[in-house]
Amino acid sequence: MKNFVFISLLFTCIYSASAQDSFFDPIDTVETPSGTMLIYGDRTWAYLDEENFEGIMNARIHEMVCEDTAHSFKSKWSNEDVITCTTNDVSLMTDTLWMCVLDSLHNNYAIPFDGQMTSKYGYRRGRRHNGVDIDLETGDTICAAFDGKIRYAKYHENGFGNLIVIRHYNGLETYYAHCSKLMVAPNQDVKAGDPIGLGGNTGHSSGSHLHFEVRFYDNPINPEMIFDFKQKEVKDNLLVHSGVFNPSSKSSKSSSSSSSSSSSSTPVNKNAKTHLVRSGENLWIIARKYGTSVDALCKLNSLTETSVIHIGQVIRLK
């Protein structure tokens, strides 16, 4: 009982809820129903598991990714960036990873919303559509697909509107876009089926719907490889390889192959001082093409690994 009284008093006097701003080491700990709380000398606090959290939800998958040096994938944890690392180049994958979508510890799932699918994953009007659209009414409840931790929950200025991103224990992330209301906060733990937001029409949206994405290290996967939306079931296993990230339609395959072949057949001037970004390129691909590093490109162009580059953008090389 004394601990709960202390916690109540602590919350009334704390003026900052982030220990990361502290210049002091923890001076005390308090056991709470939510875990061990670290108390700092400047009266800030943080939970022990969050203080040590590096963003890895599935150690087995991450170890397999790291063992193949060709992957060079990163799994950063950011509450501010939707995409945490634009250099995760899935075209470099040479292995096939066997992923258990459900396991004995986290064996629950939920269809985010039981509605009619109005748009599939693939190419749409000449542009990639990285998820599926599910029809709903503004105010309908959206649920978490799997157990996990909220990484991002706020308004996204570049199209998603009110967006929720959840990182899951199976190694995937799910996106829930265009919400009218957010019901969760970053770093919050959620269970499959928990309400996380209300459907809406925010951002670049022409009508109320849920835009739902599944991503692996920031790269989109067709959600229908995970869910059978008609039967309201989940597919237990997923084999992850470079091919699963390509839209499956014939037109998208031909356009992808033509763009990649034209890009690969274009002669590279190793002495060039600038590069004009083409379709399908990211910082990693450009760095590899010119024999430089992503870090060098970032410094020259005032970018970070989370920066999104656009077709036609000029990238300094020297």
Q: State the CATH number of the domain containing residue 305.
A: 3.10.350.10
Please indicate, yes or no, whether residues 161 and 309 belong to a single structural domain of this protein: no
Taking the CA atoms of the chain, what radius of gyration do you get in angstroms?
22
Q: In terms of domains, do 133 and 246 share one?
A: yes
Alpha-helix runs per DSSP H in the chain: 2-13, 48-51, 59-67, 250-265, 283-290, 294-301
Whether 152 and 297 share a structural domain: no
- Give the total number of structural domains in the chain: 3
| CA-wise closest residue to 185 among 158, 141, 151, 140 | 151
Residues 69 and 113 in one domain: yes
CA-CA distance, 142 to 181, in Å (whole number)?
10
Residues 257 and 295 in one domain: no
296 and 210 together in one domain: no
Q: What is the pLDDT along the chain (318 residues), one digit of tens a residue?
A: 444 444 444 444 333 344 344 344 667 778 887 677 777 666 666 666 666 688 999 999 998 888 876 777 888 999 999 999 888 888 778 888 899 999 999 999 999 999 999 999 988 887 889 999 999 999 999 999 999 999 999 999 989 999 999 999 999 999 999 999 999 999 899 999 999 999 999 999 999 999 999 999 999 999 999 999 999 999 989 999 888 987 754 333 333 333 333 344 457 787 889 999 887 677 878 887 888 888 889 899 998 877 878 888 999 998
Residues 29 and 126 in one domain: no
Residue where a domain terminates, one of 264, 284, 303: 264
**153 and 223 share a domain?**
yes
pLDDT at res. 65: 87
What range defines the domain where residue 29 resides?
A: 2-51
Map tokens 């951002």 to a residue: 203
Q: What per-residue confidence (pLDDT) applies to 43?
A: 60
